[in-house]
Structure 1
Amino acid sequence: MTSSRSERAGAPALGGDRPLIMLVGMGDLSARVLTMLLDDPATSRVVLAGRNTEAIRRRGNLALFTAANLGHHGSVDVEHVDLRNVEATARTLARVRPDIVFTGASLQSWRVITQLPRQVFEELDEAQFGPWLPMHLTLNHLLMQAVRAAGIGARVVNAAFPDAVGPVLDKVGLAPTIGVGNVANIVPALTHGSAHLLGVRPCEVEVRLTAQHYFSHYVPRFGDAGRGAYHLGVSVAGRDRSDEIDHRALFAQLDNRLKRLGGVDGQLLTASSAVRVLRGMATDSGVLAHAPAPGGLPGGYPVRVHRDGGRVDLPGGLALRDAVRINEDCQRADGIDRIDDDGTVHFAEREMSVMRRLLGYDCPSMKLGDCAEWADELGRKYREFAAKFD
């Protein structure tokens, strides 16, 4: 590809002080993020990291050549990284010295269970997302250990269940800088829906939403908030008009006139939310965004994005302690009852009972150090379950 060893070592590249952004885990989401990053000179200095270097090299070349067709010429390099080898990952990070690390790495994508027969999927989906935490926490834990060992001060942006991964790792001082997706994915629809109800243009509407993953997953599917706690602020041209919004009418639009494609296609929206954050960090812009787990907080918040991550920017009248409480309440609806000070996670019985009944998997609580073992067991039991429907 095009970048040199001096660039990988952190020397100024084509754009002078452009940050070096490393993408770890080159699945569908990271591939979409890469394409968008190369569309902007501020974010077009990229290194891809994963186990199959030939596959990600080809993926990188595809994105690089696509950008060239549109008149954009960035740089893409490739590094071998196996997150299960913390020492080797730390050495690579210390040599490459990325400014920002974006990770989409997970042991099992959220969308895997959507490939089950519809009735089976809907039954298993009653477990919500919380019980699947080991599949997303394990690799994040390993990556953050490697970042610490490398001693490079890179900011880490996490796309794998950041709402819960962030606060768990924060208990041991290893939280990623900020997350992406989830709360951010529902904000555009809420913006358009609010504009429709208020009779104004979407560009005049500013939404500030505090909510955990459960809310952003539930509302677009069912047109109501279910058991999810949340706080929604809506302003038009700087004037608060939150009291004029009928929440039931607003949410109903998301399962009707504002319903969108989900699944793999829907990852385009997650990628755009990620790039909004990554660009904000790359340019130190202070742009308003929505993101999960800024600084390791539970759930999702409106934030102002700067070089070092996201600063929570709540609507007037909502204190941070209350926003945290709302997210913790919403987290219980997602199947996580609480997170102890040592990072031990206690799962909600209602949701875990679904996993126990369907998969034979029962994890009432999980110490952080046992996460990888629980992930192995959950992965094995899910594969056995899914095989019945092949």
Structure 2
Amino acid sequence: MNCDILVIGTGSVSQVFCYAIALAFSESLKVCVIGRSKNSVDQVVTIANARSVAFSSTVTFIGDSIDWDSENDLSDKLATYSPRLILQTASLQSPWEFTASQSAWCSLIKEGGFGITLPLQAALVAQVASLIKRTMPTDSILVNVCYPDAVNPLLSYLGLPIVCGAGNVGIISTLLQSLLNLDQTRHFQVIAHHSHVINLAESPEDRLTELEGLRIWSDGQQFHQIDTLLSPIQSIKGEQINQIVGCLSAEVVLALLGSSPVHTHVPGPNGLPGGYPVVVQEGKVELALPQGCTIAEAIELNRRAAIEDGVEAIDTEGFIRWNQRASQAIKQYAPSLAEGFRAEDLQIVCQEFIKLRNRLRKE
């Protein structure tokens, strides 16, 4: 029952991805969607297959449920479907909770930064990556869309396989290209982090931090007045941004499975922090930086931007430290978690944050 693509999760990114890739006319693909809820899986698969038929596409979809509490279910699913590529869209924390709730947990994240959710974003994909490393061919492809700017470097530090993410820097790139009406012949390059997307979605007077580290080039010339150019992003409300992320995920996945080079933008390529311009082809991602911008400079721009999200880069000892704002916010409720955590303790720390979240949701 092999498939080409295994999509883990049934949320909005997964839905848009499936509905977009269903229209891949030139590709004959088999996609399997797995998630906690069979009803949710069935809905995504049914709609995706109907869209595929409506447009005479050769992409087909099947579905299955997964029990994350089972020791063997995930490994059994990977063995059953033997995918060429895995798209991870499931995490233990929805980013949209913070736009819909007023709990003390939401207040903590708003005060300290989205980076505080890093353990909750990383726990499931770390399980997936660990199984890929132990049980699957070395050319298996893992694409993670759960906070890839920070999660992918964590996976890389742990020695786990990760190719790239999707969204974030890609959102900024595609929005700019559409707003400026740039055609595909223009060489467009963006260095950007998840924190920039969060900040750009707010009006300038409501932002907690600056647009530190965001850089944009077109045909080698650097753009300025980025804030004004990207102001229309403020019209996209909450989860609707995933209408873009899902399509970007489809673009990246098709490029990774294809043989022709595709110039695009992805977060977390090969475990790097933040997002970059890249070339994607045959399961690999390579940086495609502007002339005059070194890899070290690009990484440093993203490291500085990561701090604005509340989480600093992993140090050489594998310790992930919160910035001062995040540390002070966490210290109010959980002093033992207020400094940061070791990468090797990810699953333990994740459980501690789940306990903290459960408590604060009641306040």
Partner residue in 2 for 1:22? 6
Cα gap change, 1:49 to 1:80, in 2 (>3 Å): same
5+ long unaligned stretches in structure 2 = none
1:170 aligns with 2:150: no
Whichever of the two has the greater Rg, that structure is 1
- Aligned-pair distance for 1:85? 4.3
* Contact 2:165–2:269 (Cα < 8 Å) also in 1: yes
Q: What is residue 366 of structure 1 aligned with on the other side? A: 341
- Alpha-carbon contact 2:200-2:234 (below 8 Å) kept: no
8 A Cα contact 1:347 1:365, kept in partner: yes
Helix, strand or coil for the counterpart of 2:238?
coil
Q: TM-score, normalised by structure 1?
A: 0.83
The residue number in structure 2 matching 1:71 is 56
SS at match of 2:146: coil
Give runs of aligned pairs for residues 179-198 of structure 1, distance below 5 A.
179-193=165-179, 195=180
- 2:274 equivalent in structure 1: 299
Deviation, 1:124, is 4.1
Q: Which residue of 1 aligns with 2:19?
A: 35
Tell me which residue corresponds to 1:148: 133
1:358 CA displacement: 6.7
Q: Describe the superposition over 1:156-175 as per-residue Cα deviations: whole angstroms up to 9, x where unpaired.
A: 00000111111111112104
Q: How many residues were matched structurally?
A: 357
Change (3 A) 1:292 1:306: same
In the other structure, the counterpart of 1:82 is: 67
Gaps of 5+ in 1: 11-19, 196-200
Matched, 1:269 2:253: no
How far 1:359 moved relative to its partner?
A: 7.6
Percent identity between matched residues is 20
1:380 deviation in Å?
Answer: 3.2
Determine if the alignment matches structure 1 residue 216 to structure 2 residue 197. Answer: yes
Q: Please tell me the root mean square deviation across aligned C-alpha atoms, in Å.
A: 2.6
Residues 196-216 of structure 1 deviation map (CA, whole Å, 9 limit, x = unaligned): xxxxx4226442111221122
Equivalent pair of 1:185/1:270 in contact (CA under 8 Å):
yes
Change beyond 3 A, Cα 1:29–1:69: same
Say whether the 8 Å CA contact 2:28–2:58 is kept in structure 1.
Answer: no
Match of 1:139 among 120, 124, 142: 124
SS in 2 for 1:221: coil
Do structure 1's residue 93 and structure 2's residue 78 form an aligned pair? yes
Q: 1:264 to 1:227 in 2, by over 3 A?
A: closer
- Give the direction of change, closer, same or farther, for the CA distance of 1:286–1:369 in structure 2 (3 Å limit): same
Displacement, 1:139? Answer: 0.6
Q: Is the 8 A contact 1:220 1:251 kept in 2?
A: no
Using the TM superposition, give the Cα deviation of residue 120 of structure 1 relative to its aligned residue in structure 2, in angstroms: 9.5
The TM-score with structure 2 as length reference comes to 0.89
CA gap of 1:143–1:84, structure 2 versus 1, over 3 A, is farther
Q: Distance in 2 between matches of 1:43 and 1:283?
A: 12
Instruction: After TM superposition, list the pairs within 5 Å mapping 1:275-354 onto structure 2.
Output: 275-354=250-329
2-side partners of 1:119 and 1:97: how far apart? 42
Correspondence 1:241 to 2:226: no
Instruction: State how far apart, in whole Å, the 2-side matches of 1:264 and 1:139 are.
Output: 21
